[in-house]
Structure 1
C-alpha cells in the first residue's frame, strides 16, 4: 500500500484515508469467543485500558485452539495476522485459548509470537514477558471450606472443568485438598468431568441422582455456567436450593446476582486483569522492568445458593474503629475513615464505587439533616445513580451502598436526625427501584432495536444479488447495530478451511463515521503483511478494532474490520454470521457476473 501522511481533516472529508501506525503503538488481543461474561469483561478491560494508554488495539474474534465447534474454529485463520511486524506487542488470553488443549499446546502456539513482548492472561507461559494470572486455588478451597464450616455439609460433589485445562486442574486440586484438610473422604462418585458448559451441570446432576448418591448435600462447580446448569436441573427435579442442596460456582458471572437463587461464587476480576495486562504491556514497551507474575485474588461472593443471606445486612458489618484518642470524635470527624472503609468494602466485593461519590452523598445528607432543605439529598443520590448506571452492577452497588452506609452512620444520629434520615432512606430505596426499572426498560428497548435491525438487514441481503445494492444496504444499516466504522476485504479466491491465509485481498467496502467512503482503484488491493502499517484502518485517535473472519461452511471468504460504538455481549456471533452471509452473497454475485461475462464473450 502507498504511504500517505496525515492531512488536515477537512481535506479528507468523505474519503478513504491512511494514517501512520508509527504515531502510537499497535497491540493485538488474541482471545476466544465473547459468549461467557468473564471473557467479555476481559475484552472490555483491554479496550478501556488501550484507550487510556493511547494504543491502537486489534482484537481478533477467534476460537479456542483446536475447537471442536466449527463456528469458533473458522475464525482461527486470523491468528496468522498477528505475525505482522507492525504489531508492537500482544496480549494472549491463554486460559480461554486453551479450553480444548493442554498447556504445552498453548505454549507452542504462543511461542510463534515471541519476537514481540507478550503478556499472558490466565495461564503462566514461559514465552511471555509477564503473566497476569488468577488465584484459582484459594477461591475453590475457601468455597469448600465455607460449605463445611459454616453450613456443616459433608457430601460435597464437584463438577470439574476439562482434564487438560490448567486452571481446571488447579480448582480440582483445591477441592481435594479442602476435603482432606477437614477429614472428609474423596468419593469418585461425587465427581463429574465437564467442559465449562452449562449442559455439563445438567448432566452432572442427572448422573449424581442416577447413582443414588443419598449423602449428597452440596455441589461445587468449577465455573458459574456449570453451576447454572446444575441449578436448572435440580429445579426440574423439585430439589429446593439451598434447603435441600447447596450449589456454588466460580467466576461471578453477571447472571450470578440475578439467578434464582442468587449464586454463591468466587469472583474472577477479568476486567481488572484486562486493564492490568495493557498497563503491563505499556510498561514493557517503555523499557521498564515488570513482574514475571501478577496474581489476582478470588474473593467469595456469598449469596443465597449456599444458604447465606446478603453480605450487606447491617448486623454482618462492623463499624470502622477510630484511634483511642478519637473515640469521642464528632460525626464529622468520622467522615474520612468511614468513607474510606466504605469504598474499600464495596470495591473488595467485586463492585466499583468512587470515593468521590460517597463524599458527595455524605455532604448532601448532612446538609439536608442540618438545614431540612427539601430534595438536596435525593437530587444528589439521583445524580450518583446516573453515574452508577454506566457500570454493570449499578443496582447491586446502590443497594450495598445504602445498606452499609446506614449501618455505619445511623448509630451516631440523635433521635430526631434518625427519624428524618429513615424517611430519606425510604425515598432513596424507592428512587433506586425506579432507576433500575428505567434502565431495564431502556436496555430491553435497545436490544429489541438491535434484533430488529439485524433481522431487517439479514432479510434484505437475502433478497438481492446486485452487488452495489448489497453494499448500499450495509452502509445504511450498520449504524443501526452500533457499528461506527467497517472495512470488508475479500480474498481473490476463497480458501478451504485450514489452508494458509492469502497474501492479497481486495477492499470492497469502506464505512467511517456513518458514511460509506469511495475506494480509489489503486487502494483496492491490500497486502496482509501491511494491514497494520500505514493503514486505512486507523484514525487520528486511538482505534479499537474488532477483526472477524468471514466464511461460509468450510469456505474462507475474507476479513472484516469493525469499530463498534456499544459493547453488547452476545451480539458478536450474530454480527459475524450476518457479515459472513453478506460476504457469501457478494462472492456469489461476483461469481455470477464473471460467469455471465464469459458466456457473453463466447
Structure 2
C-alpha cells in the first residue's frame, strides 16, 4: 500500500481503491449444490432450529449468536441454543458437559446449525464429520469449518492473514514477522497458518520455523507462544496472531519484556473482537463479519428446509482494520483531501453523487444482513433537506440511525467512517461566493455529527459496562445461595428466587430418572418456571431428547431458549436445564456450573443422610462402626498444613472414645487468614455430619470472600444448618462456632459462640481472656441480630490459644474440672517456648488430669510475629 491507499483483494485479485485504512476481501462462492428434504406444509407448527456452540459467551460466540438470534426473529422460527464446551475425544474427560449435544434431535428441532470452529479443537475435521453424521436425517449446517457433504459457511481465513502479513511487509517494511497460530485441529487455524507461510514465500522471505508457535485462542496461550519465540533468540519486528485474544497476550508479554508496541514491534490479530478497539494500544486486526455469519447461516437453513438448493460452501468477506498496534492511526478528517471540483449549491451537491455515495456509505459500516436496509439513502435525503434549509434534519436522522444501528448490533464508532466518506466526497468547493459558505456549513455539520457519534458510542459502551457489572453483582449474590444448597428442595427455592433477578423468566430444570431401567433416556422435571414464577412441574417423566416437559419448547409465541447440561466435572451428568434468553451471557455459563455443583452437593448430601438414617437403626455394633466413620470424617478434614503469614501455628485434635463433633480449620488468604473452632453437641456420625456441613460452608464462604464479615458468615451457616438438621434430618444437633479473620497487621475480627479466646501477652507474660458473645448455631432459624463482629489486636510475640471444652471440662477422679485458671497457668509457664512445646504442655497437663476423657480435645496455638519494619 503506497500513499495511504490500501490494496483491495476481491476473489483473489488485487485492486486498489481509496477506502481509508480498510482492505476488503470479497468471498468467492463454490457452486456445488446441496439438496435437502421436501418443504414443509404451511399448516405445520412453527419451526425450531438448534444452534450448537461451546459457550454462549466470548467475542466470537457472542457475535455469531447475535446474528443467529436476529435472523431467527426475522424468519419467525424458534431457536434452541445448546452449549456444552468443546467436544472431547472418545474416552477423555468432558463427556458429561458434551452430553447436551447428544440430546438434540428430530424430537425437538427441524434443523441444526453448528459453530464448528468452537467445537473442533480436540477432535479435528474427522471428528466433526462423525459429529454431524449422528444428526442424520436432519438438515445440518456448519459455521467456521468446511466439511465435505455438509453445507458450510466460512470466512476467507487465508486472505485475511494475507492482508495482515502483507500489510506488515508492504506498508511497514517488516521482514522478521512472527506468527502465533491456533489449535492444531482447528481448520480455521490451519488455513490461517498456511496463509502465513504462503505470504512469506510469495514475497521471497525466509520460512523460519523459529518464528512460529501455536496457541489455543486464549490470552494466556498468546503470552506463552510469544515467550517461546523470543526465548529462541530469533529477531522479531512484527507479530501476527490468529485471533485477537492471543494478540493481546502477545502485547502483554512484550510489555513485560520491555518491548513497546508499536514502537519496537508491530502486532496484529484476527476477528476484531470487542476488546480490540479498547486495548492499549488499540489492536490492528482482520475483521470478520461474525454477526453476518450467524444471520446467513440461519437464512441458508431456512432455504434448506424449504427444499431449495444451497451452495456446498460459501465464503464471506473479511477486511483489515488498521489501528495503533501496527503503527497506523485512524487519520482525523482533516487528513482527507477534499475534491477541488465540488459545486457550490446545496441539495444538488448530494444529488449529483447520490448513487456512488450510497455505495460508499453502505460499505463503510458493517451492519448485520437484513438490518436497516436503505439507511444510506435515508441519511442522504436528510442531508439534502439540511442543505435546503431544514435545520437539524441531518442530526436528527443520524441520531435515529445510531439508535437503530445500536439495537442491530452495529459498532457505532464505525459511523465515523460515514462522516469521513461524506467529507471526502463532498469536499471543499472553490474559494469565494456561496461555495465557501456552503463548505463552512458542511464543516460545522461534520463536527456536530462526530460529536453525536462519539456520544452515542460512549453511551452504548457505558450501558454495556453497567450490564456486565450488574450481571457480576447478581452472580455474586446467587453464588452464595447456590453454595449452601445441600438438597434438591433447597435448590428449587434458590432457583425460584434467583432466576428472575438474573433476568430469566422461563426455566425448566430436569434430571435423569433414578430408575435403573431408564438408562438415562428418561427425565423427570425438577423445577419449572413460567413468567418469572415457579409452577408445579408435571409428575410424569418424559424422553430426555425432548429436553423439557411437553409444551415448554413449543408455545404460541416465538421463543429463543438456552439449553445447557446439568453436570459435574467431566463424567457426572445429571440432566438438562433450559432457560429463556435475554439475560447477560455471563449468567448462563455461571448457572451451568452452579446448578451442576449444587446438584452434586445435593446428591452427596442425600447419600450421607441416607447413610445416617440407616446407621441409626442398627444395633450397638453398628453404632461402633458409625463412630469409626465419624472419626475418619473428623480426622481427615483436619488441615494437613498450617501456614498463615505472620503466625507460627500448631494444633492437635484427639477424638474421644465416643467421637464428638470437634472442628478446627486454618485457611490462608492473601491478607492473612481465617481460624475456626467449634464443637457439635452430641457424638457419633450425626455430629460428624454436622461438622462436615460446617467445615464445607466455612471453606466455601471464606474462599469466595476472604474479607467477609465473620458475623455474616456465621449467620449464613446457621440458616443452612438449621434447615438441614432440623427440617430434613429431623434432629436437634447444634454447635458452638467461633470464626476469626486474622490480618497480617495483627488485627483479628471475630464472631460466634465458643470457649473464651486466650491471648498470652508477650509484654506481661499473662493471659487475657477474650469472651465470645454470640449464640450457638443450629438452635434458631436466624441469629442475624444476635451475632456481631468484635476485634482485638495481636502484638509481636503474643500467643493465641483456641481450645474446645474437652480441655477445660476434663474431670479428674474427684470430678473436679481442669478449668480455665489452670489452663492459663499452664500457658504462662511456657509462654516463651515454641508453639509446639506450648501445645504439648497443655495436652500433657489435661491428660494427666483426666487419663480417660469422654470428650474430644482440640487445641490450636499460634504465635504472632509482626512484619519487620524496613
TM interval, short-chain normalised: 0.7 to 0.9
Alpha-carbon distance, 1:575 to partner: 2.4
CA contact (8 A) 2:336 2:424 kept: no
Which of these residues, 314, 326, 346, is aligned with residue 294 of structure 1? 314
Question: SS at the partner of 2:104?
Answer: helix
Which of these residues, 374, 399, 403, is aligned with residue 386 of structure 1? 403
Give the whole-Å Cα distance in 2 for the aligned partners of 1:450 and 1:85.
Answer: 34
Which residue matches 1:434? 455
Alpha-carbon distance, 1:339 to partner: 3.6
Which residue matches 2:467? 446
Which residue matches 1:61? 83
Question: SS at the partner of 1:481?
Answer: coil
Give the whole-Å Cα distance in 2 for the aligned partners of 1:63 and 1:340.
Answer: 43
CA 1:304–1:196: 2 relative to 1, 3 Å = same
Which residue matches 2:420? 403
CA contact (8 A) 1:118 1:127 kept: no
Question: SS at the partner of 1:119?
Answer: strand
CA 1:147–1:313: 2 relative to 1, 3 Å = farther
Give the whole-Å Cα distance in 1 for the aligned partners of 2:446 and 2:464.
Answer: 27
CA 1:440–1:295: 2 relative to 1, 3 Å = closer
Give the whole-Å Cα distance in 2 for the aligned partners of 1:298 and 1:378.
Answer: 31
Question: SS at the partner of 2:421?
Answer: helix
Which residue matches 1:52? 74
CA 1:168–1:368: 2 relative to 1, 3 Å = closer
1:105 partnered with 2:127: yes
Which residue matches 2:217? 196
CA contact (8 A) 2:286 2:318 kept: yes
List gaps (5 residues or longer) in structure 1: 1-20, 323-327
1:30 partnered with 2:52: yes
Question: SS at the partner of 1:406?
Answer: helix
Which residue matches 2:646? none
- What does the per-residue CA deviation read over 1:382-436, in whole Å, with 9 as the maximum and x for residues that have no partner? 3333223324444312322223222222435821122233333333333333333
Which of these residues, 543, 552, 558, is aligned with residue 542 of structure 1? 558
Deviates more, 1:555-564 or 1:413-422: 413-422
Q: Give runs of aligned pairs for residues 171-320 of structure 1, distance below 5 A.
A: 171-214=192-235, 216-310=236-330, 313=333, 315=335
User: Which is richer in helix?
Assistant: 1
Deviates more, 1:225-234 or 1:255-264: 255-264
Question: SS at the partner of 1:287?
Answer: coil
Which residue matches 1:74? 96
Alpha-carbon distance, 1:599 to partner: 7.5
CA 1:206–1:466: 2 relative to 1, 3 Å = closer
CA RMSD of aligned residues (A): 3.4
Q: Give runs of aligned pairs for residues 117-132 of structure 1, distance below 5 A.
A: 117-128=139-150, 130-132=151-153
Give the whole-Å Cα distance in 2 for the aligned partners of 1:443 and 1:600.
Answer: 56
Alpha-carbon distance, 1:140 to partner: 0.8
CA 1:427–1:133: 2 relative to 1, 3 Å = closer
Give the whole-Å Cα distance in 1 for the aligned partners of 2:337 and 2:609.
Answer: 73
Which of these residues, 337, 342, 351, is aligned with residue 333 of structure 1? 351
Which residue matches 2:576? 559
Q: Give runs of aligned pairs for residues 485-504 of structure 1, distance below 5 A.
A: 485-493=506-514, 502-504=520-522
CA contact (8 A) 1:484 1:565 kept: no
Deviates more, 1:286-295 or 1:467-476: 467-476
Give the whole-Å Cα distance in 1 for the aligned partners of 2:371 and 2:331.
Answer: 17
CA 1:494–1:399: 2 relative to 1, 3 Å = farther
- What does the per-residue CA deviation read over 1:346-378, in whole Å, with 9 as the maximum and x for residues that have no partner? 1469999846444444444444444373x4443
Bigger relative contact order, structure 1 or 2 (CA pairs below 8 A, ≥6 apart): 1
Give the whole-Å Cα distance in 1 for the aligned partners of 2:319 and 2:119.
Answer: 25
Question: SS at the partner of 2:311?
Answer: coil
CA contact (8 A) 2:96 2:568 kept: no
Question: SS at the partner of 1:23?
Answer: coil
Give the whole-Å Cα distance in 1 for the aligned partners of 2:135 and 2:341.
Answer: 52
Question: SS at the partner of 1:250?
Answer: strand
CA contact (8 A) 1:58 1:546 kept: yes
How many residues matched? 568
Give the whole-Å Cα distance in 2 for the aligned partners of 1:48 and 1:485.
Answer: 20
CA contact (8 A) 2:354 2:380 kept: no
Q: Give runs of aligned pairs for residues 84-103 of structure 1, distance below 5 A.
A: 84-103=106-125
